[in-house]
Amino acid sequence: MLAACSLRDLPPGAALRLDLPELSAPIALFHTERGEVYAIDDTCTHQEASLSDGWLEGCEVECPVHSSKFDLRTGAVDAPPAKIPVRTHKVEVRDGTVFVDPAP
């Protein structure tokens, strides 16, 4: 697992883009208003847009370019035009640090 950030640096309602050399592609971290932390691929599957720049509502993120919505829990597309889901990544919060286990 990779140490991603301090939970203090990711307040509820916020998103953070991880673009680390250890990653094959950028990952977006989201901290929901309910206190849950999720990680998905940062790039929208419809068009190359950063999902961490999108709008977070509940457990969904809306792409800032064409309004596709993705479920942060499953990666499933909840609104077109995207048709392909995004990958999800395992997240753990330990001692105030957010860790991500990138999916293969």
CB 79, CB 72: distance < 8 Å: no
| pTM, 2 dp | 0.95
Q: Structurally, how many domains does the chain consist of? A: 1
CATH number at residue 14: 2.102.10.10
With a cut of 90, say whether residue 1 has pLDDT above it. Answer: yes
**CA–CA gap between residue 78 and residue 76 (Å, rounded):** 6
Q: Give me the domain span that covers residue 28.
A: 2-101
Per-residue pLDDT of 56-87, as tens digits, reads 999 999 999 999 999 999 999 999 999 999 99
pLDDT at residue 20 tops 90:
no
Give pLDDT, residue 22.
86
- CA-CA distance, 6 to 74, in Å (whole number)? 24
